[in-house]
Structure 1
Amino acid sequence: MATPTINEIQTQILNTAAGADALPATAVLTENEQATLGNLTSTSKVSIFRLIIYVVAVVAWSLHKLWAILSADIDERIAVSRPFSRGWYTQTALNYQHGQELPETGIYDNTGLTIAEIAARKIVAKAAVVEGSMNGHGILRIKVAKSIDGELQPLSYEEHAGFRAYLNLMGAAGISLATSSAEADKLKVHYKIYYDPTILNNLGQRLDGTDNNPVISALRAYLIDKNARDFNGELSLQHLNDVVENVAGVTDVFLQSASSAYTGFNYDDGNPQGNVGPIVEFRQPQSGYFKLDIPNSTFQYIAR
């Protein structure tokens, strides 16, 4: 059920009060206070009655929001608690503590460790579980990445080796697992951008000197946010265009071409998975995340 707005709650209270034959709570008022009852129950927006209703409505709305958060948290905990489901594998990957011995119980002993020390050992920032096949039989592929200064990066060789050993110990017997932690898929774009010459120049720089590459800055920020918010999610070219269109000074945007590549492939290559080469509308990242290839991307600016 959707959380009602503060205005909806206020309206419900006002309607209930208006339809009531009497207000029992006013029975405790003295005769002098009863004489001012009309002012007390006035529906004027600046009356005491309306101010009280507003306070009550805000409290009720806050409770609705808290219950919604609790419900979502319970649903998420249930989803990841079922052993060997996708949600369970994802949460298990995020729980990996690098360099720490894993007891037979599968639960780390963090006795004596501070919250900061535990967080530092949990190096996996993002994880995604996808079904695949290898040598004719099904596997579960777990893509993971760590975060450095807010940007996703692949695990080092030692980190990946420790994570792989951990996951093999935690996983179900008889289930083939393949872990991967690779460099971001590179994204190359070619844009023709019309701009307002009172805000930008022909190099796409802001005239006030606050940003020499506002379009590139916006695209990079969008990809960083998307990678963190929707790891292994599809990239939409329409969403990229929306980002560029929202840059101050940009009047019209035309994406000439877009393509992606990852380790072992070039921008002009193609593969059966369809996750490399020219992008038509959407693209699923092989690594789980994208990074803008600034040196190989082009941005043509035309005054309008």
Structure 2
Amino acid sequence: MARSIANIQTDIIEALRADDTLKNSLTEITSTSKTSISRLITFVVATAIGVLEALFDQHKKEVDDKLANQKSGTLPWYRTMALRFQYGYDLVADEDYFDNQDHTTAQIEASKIVKYAAVNEAEESSRVIIKIAGESAGILAPINDDQREGFEAYIDEIKVAGVKVTVLNYKPDRLYLNILIKRNAMILDSSGMDKDTAKYPVKEAIQEFMKELPFDGDLRLSALVDKLQKVEGVLDATIVGAQSAWVDAAGPVDADGYSTPPQDIYISTIPKSGYFEIATFDNISYVV
């Protein structure tokens, strides 16, 4: 791990002080003045060493990431391979990559329909779980049935022999939020509209928060409150209640196939599908 420039400079100075020959020839080495020549020289050298150590750290990280993704059968490898899937293309015989001859870069990129992927091991059995999602008009969405069929055939072809893999290509988990906002009446009206711009900054902040949430990431209610409290016109924010529902064929479901009733979220939760959609913004109340 790279040291700070200050720590490196201190190490250099201590080493110089410990050397009797250098200590006698560099009389200014004991000076505490930041403008002394010896201090300036050690600072320049320390800065160069600090930059080099930071570069070494970055290089090591890049090498470690490449090794993790190149090693067949690891969870990062499955995620990398999921994102490399190309719909409508065939694999090169006996290989795990696609035949892209006679195709343009634009065509190749357009065929990569899996935009998001997360891979975990099942807790109750020896199985790899791959969560995926595509995009529709810039919004996360499941890929269609034909695309999923092709993706599952691709995974069956490249996976490690004997490993069971389950692909989750669900509709987004529904997030129900009951939020109480204490508003600045000079900025926001009783419906949450900004009196100057006619926009709804609290709704926009929630939508922005959901976009910033990593795929298959942990939704923390405290982080959402922090986000809301930074909105202009919001004096305070409280999440009175939060629930989520997800596609669950095993239990009771509603007409859209979602688990019912929605389950309470107390501190945080990870979406079963890997991502959320806000079910409604009607449960945001504004008080003064």
Fold-level similarity (TM above 0.5): yes
- 1:220-273 CA distance string (max 9 Å, x none): 1111111xx3x2233222222222122233222221111112346458825xxx
Q: Distance in 1 between matches of 2:185 and 2:15?
A: 57
The percent identity for this pair of structures is: 32
Displacement of 1:16: 4.6
The counterpart of 2:120, out of the listed 105, 108, 130, is: 130
The counterpart of 1:219, out of the listed 206, 218, 222, is: 206
The counterpart of 1:174, out of the listed 151, 162, 165, is: 162
* Contact 2:247–2:259 (CA under 8 A) maintained in structure 1: no
> Quick one: structure 1 residues 20 and 122, their matched pair in 2 at CA, closer, same or farther if it must change by over 3 Å?
farther
Q: Distance in 2 between matches of 1:179 and 1:75?
A: 27
> Quick one: structure 1 residues 156 and 59, their matched pair in 2 at CA, closer, same or farther if it must change by over 3 Å?
farther
Q: Distance in 1 between matches of 2:11 and 2:39?
A: 13
Partner of 1:34: none
- Give 5+ residue unaligned stretches, structure 1: 28-36, 271-275
Aligned-partner residue type, residue 298 of structure 1: N
Matches within 5 A, 1:91-130: 91-103=80-92, 104-111=94-101, 113=103, 115-130=105-120
Q: Which moved more, 1:54-63 or 1:285-294?
A: 54-63
The counterpart of 1:242, out of the listed 226, 229, 246, is: 226
> Quick one: structure 1 residues 145 and 48, their matched pair in 2 at CA, closer, same or farther if it must change by over 3 Å?
farther
Matches within 5 A, 1:28-177: 44-45=33-34, 53-103=42-92, 104-111=94-101, 113=103, 115-132=105-122, 138-147=126-135, 151-177=139-165
Displacement of 1:55: 4.7
Q: Distance in 2 between matches of 1:55 and 1:117?
A: 50
Q: Which moved more, 1:43-52 or 1:280-289?
A: 43-52
* Contact 1:258–1:278 (CA under 8 A) maintained in structure 2: yes
The counterpart of 2:238, out of the listed 247, 254, 267, is: 254
Count of residues in correspondence between the two structures: 279
Displacement of 1:57: 3.9
Displacement of 1:126: 1.7
Q: Distance in 2 between matches of 1:168 and 1:61?
A: 47
Displacement of 1:185: 0.9
Displacement of 1:49: 6.2
Partner of 1:269: 260
Q: Distance in 1 between matches of 2:208 and 2:125?
A: 39
Q: Distance in 2 between matches of 1:113 and 1:68?
A: 38
> Quick one: structure 1 residues 18 and 123, their matched pair in 2 at CA, closer, same or farther if it must change by over 3 Å?
farther
TM-score when normalising by structure 1: 0.76
Q: Distance in 2 between matches of 1:204 and 1:55?
A: 54
* Contact 2:96–2:158 (CA under 8 A) maintained in structure 1: yes
Displacement of 1:130: 3.2
User: Over the residues paired in the alignment, what is the CA RMSD in angstroms?
Assistant: 3.4
Q: Distance in 2 between matches of 1:130 and 1:77?
A: 19
Q: Which moved more, 1:282-291 or 1:120-129?
A: 120-129
Displacement of 1:93: 1.0
- 1:181-220 CA distance string (max 9 Å, x none): 22211111011111233443333233442x7222221121
Q: Distance in 2 between matches of 1:42 and 1:114?
A: 65
> Quick one: structure 1 residues 101 and 268, their matched pair in 2 at CA, closer, same or farther if it must change by over 3 Å?
closer
TM-score when normalising by structure 2: 0.79
1:298 aligns with 2:288: no
The counterpart of 1:284, out of the listed 270, 275, 281, is: 270
- Give 5+ residue unaligned stretches, structure 2: none
> Quick one: structure 1 residues 145 and 55, their matched pair in 2 at CA, closer, same or farther if it must change by over 3 Å?
farther
* Contact 1:43–1:49 (CA under 8 A) maintained in structure 2: no
Q: Distance in 2 between matches of 1:18 and 1:150?
A: 61
